[in-house]
Copies of this chain bind each other. A is one copy, B any other.
Amino acid sequence: MSCADEYAPQLRARGYRMTPQRLAILHVLHHSGEHLSPAKVYEKALVELPSLTETTVYRTLEFLAENGLVHPAHMGSGHLVYQIAGHDHHHLKCRVCGSEMEVEHALLTDLYKKLERTSGYHLTDSHLTFFGVCPDCQ
């Protein structure tokens, strides 16, 4: 199943269009699997679509995030990185060496329930990044 076949219907269903730009960006994120900065996405996507603009990358990433096809995450200080939507997870990052590990969302379900009870909010997605010191650096 190609990226186009997989993602185009998801966009059409919401009244949006699949374009070469969006496809290229989704393709990059899909095959990388990693979280990438806008600059990295631009660099990689440029190979398959040389006419691509940085402006478009920024706008597309934000658009895809709003529509749940990619997950934005706050890394380090204030800069966003994006990752193709897959399983729900969060990140745990070491303040010392910078290494990261994934945290299954399952670990947070209790907390989410508690928060919904006490706040009245209905919690939607949220990608969280926890900070700490990893075993190697302690």
- By a beta-carbon cutoff of 8 Å, the part of chain A in contact with chain B is 62, 72, 74, 77-80, 92, 94-95, 101, 103, 107-108, 110-111, 114-116, 118-126, 128-135, 138
Contacts and interface: CB of A to CB of B under 8 A. Distances in A.
Contact of A130 (B78, B123, B129, B138): B123
Counted per complex, copies of this chain come to 2
B74 A62 contact: no
A131 B103 CA distance: 18
B107 A115 contact: yes
Given A72-B78, A110-B111, A121-B133, 13 more contacts: A62-B77, A77-B80, A92-B115, A92-B121, A101-B119, A103-B119, A107-B114, A110-B110, A115-B132, A122-B138, A126-B129, A126-B132, A128-B128
